[in-house]
């Protein structure tokens, strides 16, 4: 079945880069997503990548996709305290109709 | 453009009581989703609507959960009776169409606590 795995916690200092990793099981996934959830809030879409891409950059965010290893990463450059949140990796299910989420990685940024 | 609106934001009830959650999707979005997010977990899909039709409710516990989307706009998710294990955040999301490029936008959620 479809499954998404993430490391649970990451702690970085302000100004450093953060790298959040994710592995997924469904090799037929066409789109992979990163969502951010702040305390008491819903999920905010950060970025997504199509499976035929290796990399996507959007301002401070860089997404790397290794389709062979089914590994996805999100790099946040110059991490700020406002980036502290839970980050969810998600893949589109085989039917292309729903998202399968990981358990989320809690990013803690200290000043 | 207004985002997905959900109410109430918080709800505390005793077990065996009924509860209902309401969602207003982004204007023009014909696909609506209800997800449940347990503590420390990612969201899991409960039901998906295309306009007023429930096209995927395979994960909805039908013995106690029900949902409707009258006129293909607002939606209500109901639990009757609620159990302790139903404590979670219930998230509503919407998207403009069902394609592989479709992006789901989430509301802030309703945090349910069952005592």
Identify which of B82, B91, B90 has the alpha carbon closest to the alpha carbon of residue B114: B82
pLDDT at A1: 61
pLDDT confidence bin for A92, thresholds 50/70/90: confident
Query: How near does any CA of chain A get to the CA of B81, in Å?
Result: 25
Please tell me the number of Cα atoms within 13 Å of B56 on its side-chain side. Answer: 19
pLDDT confidence bin for A26, thresholds 50/70/90: confident
Q: Which of A39-48, B69-78, B90-99 has the lowest mean pLDDT?
A: B90-99
Q: What residue in B sits closest to A90 (Cα-Cα)?
A: B42
Q: How far apart (Å, rounded) are the C-alpha atoms in residues A106 and A91?
A: 19
**Mean pLDDT in residue range B61-77:** 93
**Mean pLDDT in residue range B28-48:** 93
**Pairs of residues, one from chain A and one from chain B, whose beta carbons lie less than 8 Å apart:** 54
Q: What residue in B sits closest to A50 (Cα-Cα)?
A: B101
pLDDT at B101: 58
Q: How far apart (Å, rounded) are the C-alpha atoms in residues A18 and A20?
A: 7
Please tell me the number of Cα atoms within 13 Å of A47 on its side-chain side. Answer: 18
| Residues in chain A closer than 8 A to B23 (CB atoms) | none
pLDDT at A98: 81
Q: Tell me whether B83 touches chain A (CB under 8 Å).
A: no
**Mean pLDDT in residue range B57-62:** 90
Task: Indicate whether B69 pLDDT > 70.
Answer: yes
Identify which of B55, B49, B44 has the alpha carbon closest to the alpha carbon of residue B31: B49
pLDDT confidence bin for B44, thresholds 50/70/90: very high
**Cross-chain residue pair B42–A98, CB shorter than 8 Å:** no
pLDDT at A97: 76
Please write the tens of the pLDDT for every residue from A3-18. Answer: 899 999 999 999 999 9
Q: Give the mean pLDDT of chain A.
A: 91
**Cross-chain residue pair A44–B101, CB shorter than 8 Å:** no
Q: Tell me whether B72 touches chain A (CB under 8 Å).
A: no
**Mean pLDDT in residue range A72-97:** 92
Q: Tell me whether A25 touches chain B (CB under 8 Å).
A: no
Closest by Cβ to B56, choosing from A4, A90, A98: A98
pLDDT at B88: 96
Q: Tell me whether B29 touches chain A (CB under 8 Å).
A: no
**Mean pLDDT in residue range A94-110:** 89
**Cross-chain residue pair A88–B42, CB shorter than 8 Å:** yes
| Residues in chain B closer than 8 A to A96 (CB atoms) | 98-100
Q: Tell me whether B8 touches chain A (CB under 8 Å).
A: no
A8-34: b (≥16 Cβ within 10 Å) or e: eebebeeeeebebbbbbebeebebbbb
Query: How near does any CA of chain B get to the CA of A92, in Å?
Result: 8
Q: Which of A28-37, B23-32, B67-76 has the lowest mean pLDDT?
A: A28-37
Largest CA distance in chain A: 43
């Amino acid at each position: 079945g479809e499954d998404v795995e993430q490391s649970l916690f990451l702690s970085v200092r302000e100004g450093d880069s953060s790298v959040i990793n994710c592995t997924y099981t469904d090799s037929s996934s066409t789109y992979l997503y990163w969502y951010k959830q702040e305390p008491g809030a819903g999920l905010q879409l950060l970025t997504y990548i199509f499976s035929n891409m290796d990399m996507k950059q959007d301002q401070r965010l860089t997404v790397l996709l290794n389709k062979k290893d089914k590994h996805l990463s999100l790099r946040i450059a110059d991490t700020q305290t406002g980036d502290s949140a839970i980050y969810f990796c998600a893949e589109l299910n085989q039917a292309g109709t729903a998202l399968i989420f990981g358990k989320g990685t809690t990013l803690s940024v200290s000043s | 453009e207004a985002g997905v609106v959900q109410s109430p934001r918080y709800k505390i009830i005793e077990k065996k009581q009924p509860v209902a959650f309401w969602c207003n999707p982004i204007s023009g979005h014909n696909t609506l989703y209800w997800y449940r997010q347990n503590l420390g977990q990612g969201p899991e899909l409960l039901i998906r609507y295309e306009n007023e039709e429930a096209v995927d409710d395979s994960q909805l516990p039908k013995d106690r959960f029900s949902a409707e989307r009258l006129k293909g706009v607002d939606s209500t998710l109901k639990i009757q009776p609620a159990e302790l294990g139903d404590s979670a955040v219930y998230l509503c999301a919407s998207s403009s169409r069902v394609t592989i490029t479709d992006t789901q936008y989430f509301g802030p959620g309703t945090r349910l606590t069952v005592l």
